[in-house]
Each structure stands twice: as structure tokens, then as C-alpha cells.
Structure 1
Amino acid sequence: MSDFQYYVAASVDGYIATNEDDLAWLLQFEEAEGVTENYEDFMAGIGCIVMGGQTFRWLMDHEPGKWPYPGVPCWIFTHHEYAAPPGADVTFVRGDVKEFAPDLVSDAGDKNVWLVGGGNLVAQFSKAGLLDEMIVTVIPVALGSGKRLLPVERPTAPLELVSSRTLGGAAVELRYRFPRQAG
């Protein structure tokens, strides 16, 4: 069965973007040793991608005419009207994440579902008991404010640390499993 994985980078103070959706603080680490290989290894296990409308809009604004996930089905949870980039396998939906979970797993096949973000969308998956794993790369930058990593309504049960490793001599990747919820 597919896992729902939140693979994300965050500042040391727990933000995934500035309030203005600026990622320059993060992109300066793109070329750090091990980062590209780590991403490629992760993507090899992904069969379906899920993101929110703001994340989709950021991609379209910053990567015009280029879809970064060719051949991978992508579901966009949004209340806005967008057009899919040419050649992209994109489905726009509205509603409860639990309602669409079986379709996401079906699209993933024998691979996992990547919850790209944003944090508010991933928090909905967490609340629904659908978040299996969080792989967060902590970037050695403090932002002071911005879009939170995982804005849950109440504390989660303790997560299990599965692994940790250093990337590029400064960033740290932490892999956590969420406890299984009865239901």
C-alpha cells in the first residue's frame, strides 16, 4: 500500500516559505552536496503528487512553460480556477482530502504519494489520519515568520524518528513516521 509522504525543506525555526512565498533562502542550497541525489532517490519512489493551489501557482509563476513532474499524476487541491500546463497529468479538485485518498493511492500504483504542500494542505491529511511519513530537511537559516511547516490544530502523538543524515555539510534530513491511527 502507498504511503502519504510529506517531503519538504524548512528553516530552523519551522517555516517552509516566507509570508510572500519567497524561497530564495532555500534555493541557495540546491547545489549542496547530496541534495540532487537525495531528491532523485525520493522521486524514484513517487507515483502520485498532491499540492495546494498556492504551491501550484508558485510553480507556474517561477517555472513558466515548464512542468517539473512529467509522467507523474498530480492532484491540485484548490478553490481557484487554473489551467494545467501542456502535457501535464494534472487534476484539479475541491473537497475533503479523505474523499480523494483512494484515487490518489490508485494513481500512485505500487509507489508512494508525495504531499508537496503547502503546510495547510498537509495538515488536513494529518487531521484525517492519512499522513504516514514526514521527511523534512532542516535548512540552516532562520526566517522569523512565514508559512508554517505543519500548522496542525493540536499536538500530534509522538512521531518515530526513522533516520537522520547531513546534506551538504549544513542541512539535516529527518525522516519521521506518524503513528497509525485506529479507524
Structure 2
Amino acid sequence: MLYRKVILYIAMSLDGYIAKDEDNLDFLSVVEVPGEDYGYAAFQQTVDTLIWGRKTYDKVLSFGIDFPHKNKKCYVLSSSKTGHDENVEYYNGDIKNLIEQIRQKDGKNIYCDGGGELVYELLRHSLIDQMIISVIPHLVGNGVRLFKDKLPEQALKLTQSVTFPSGLVQLGYEKNSKGAV
């Protein structure tokens, strides 16, 4: 059985925010270029399971589009919802147990995306194997930070740094041999 990596694939503003107040994502449009997906489609071919926070899931549904990951197993972490809907299974247990259960089955990698609470819990428990962070050339000033205070110190290994004409810089990091991400 292949090891299923937990990969955080996310965008943030230059000052470290994944959303403005009221979960506003309009700053992401700064780098919208027709035909450019910044490697997202290729990345999606490497994953078959998603773990998202509930606010992220609700935000995607608010776009009025078909859920874009119907062909993948999707878990949404929620303290208030249980069961499932037509797209996802709600999960309110221990994140370590969920990752362990997923890894016991054959499959591709595990894609994690927002929000800040999910990222915090995954990093707090040293569960992220790889991060792909797209830095948007925009200062937001306030909102939802990607990295919360009081994370344990963690050493990373830079594996990728790609710049795009739009100004987006995509950084890739993995756990280094001396510790967790």
C-alpha cells in the first residue's frame, strides 16, 4: 500500500490571510488569468479524498456552481453538522483518527483546504506531509489567517518555488528529515 500524503493546497494574501472579513475571497481575482489554473487540475489528478472545514464547504456552495469534487470522497469537519449530504460526509471526531482511517485504505493523496481552524489542527498534530501555498500579490490587512498563533515550531524543506506573470508565487514545502511540517 502506498503512503497517502496529506497535502495542504491553498492560496493566501501576501500578508497571510486566506479570506477577508465575512469570508470574502474577492482578493483572489487579482491573479485570475483566462486559461491559467496554476497547476490545480494536475494536482487534482493526484488526490481522491478531500478534507475541508465547514465554512470553506459552505463558501464553495455559495458560488452557485455544481460541487466540483463529486468524483472524490469528501469530508467536512463540523462541530454542528453530522451525517452527510449529496456531496460530503460531515465529521466531528478526532482529526488524527480520520487521517488514520483514510490512510488504511488504498488510494491517492488527501487534499486539505481551509479554513484556518482545520489547518491549525492538522499542523498542531503534525499531520501535513506537504504544503502548496499560492501567494497572491495583495495585502488584505485583516480576516482569516492561514497560520494561527501558538503552532509548534516546525522545520520545512522548500521543494518548489514558481512565479507566474500574474504575480502569484507558488511555494511547495515538505516535512524535512528532522521533523514535522
Q: CA deviation at 1:144?
A: 0.5
Is it true that 1:150 corresponds to 2:135 in the alignment?
A: no
1:136-155 Cα shifts (integer Å, max 9, x gaps):
01000000011111215235
1:116-131 matches, within 5 Å, as 116-131=113-128
SS at match of 1:173: strand
Show structure 2 runs of 5+ residues with no match. Answer: none
User: Do 2:124 and 2:152's aligned partners in 1 also have CA atoms closer than 8 Å?
Assistant: no
The aligned length equals: 177
Contact 2:82–2:91 (CA<8 Å) still a contact in 1? Answer: no
Residues 1-183 of structure 1: matches in 2 within 5 Å? 1-31=3-33, 35-36=36-37, 38-63=39-64, 66-81=66-81, 86=86, 88=87, 90-106=88-104, 109-179=106-176, 181=179
RMSD across aligned positions (CA): 2.1
- Supply the distance in 2 between the matched residues of 1:138 and 1:123 (Cα, whole angstroms): 18
Task: For residue 22 of structure 2, give the secondary structure of its aligned residue in structure 1.
Answer: coil
Q: CA deviation at 1:82?
A: 7.0
- Using a 3 Å threshold, how does the CA distance of structure 1 residues 45 and 150 change in structure 2: closer, same or farther? same
Q: Residue 158 of structure 1: CA displacement?
A: 2.2
Cα distance in 2 for partners of 1:101, 1:110 equals 13
| Aligned-pair identity (%) | 28
Is 2:30–2:136's contact at 8 Å kept on the other side of the alignment? Answer: no
SS, match of residue 113 in structure 1: strand
Q: CA deviation at 1:37?
A: 5.5
Distance between the aligned counterparts of 1:152 and 1:131, measured in 2?
Answer: 17
- How far residue 178 of structure 1 moved from its aligned partner, in angstroms, is 2.5
What is the CA–CA distance in structure 2 between the aligned matches of 1:151 and 1:92, rounded to whole Å? 24
Query: Residue 78 of structure 1 contacts residue 94 of structure 1 at CA under 8 Å; is this kept in 2?
Result: yes
Q: CA deviation at 1:176?
A: 0.6
Q: Is the 8 A contact 2:119 2:146 kept in 1?
A: no
5+ residue gaps, structure 1, are none
Normalising by structure 1, what TM-score? 0.87
Counterpart contact for 1:45–1:111, Cα < 8 Å: yes
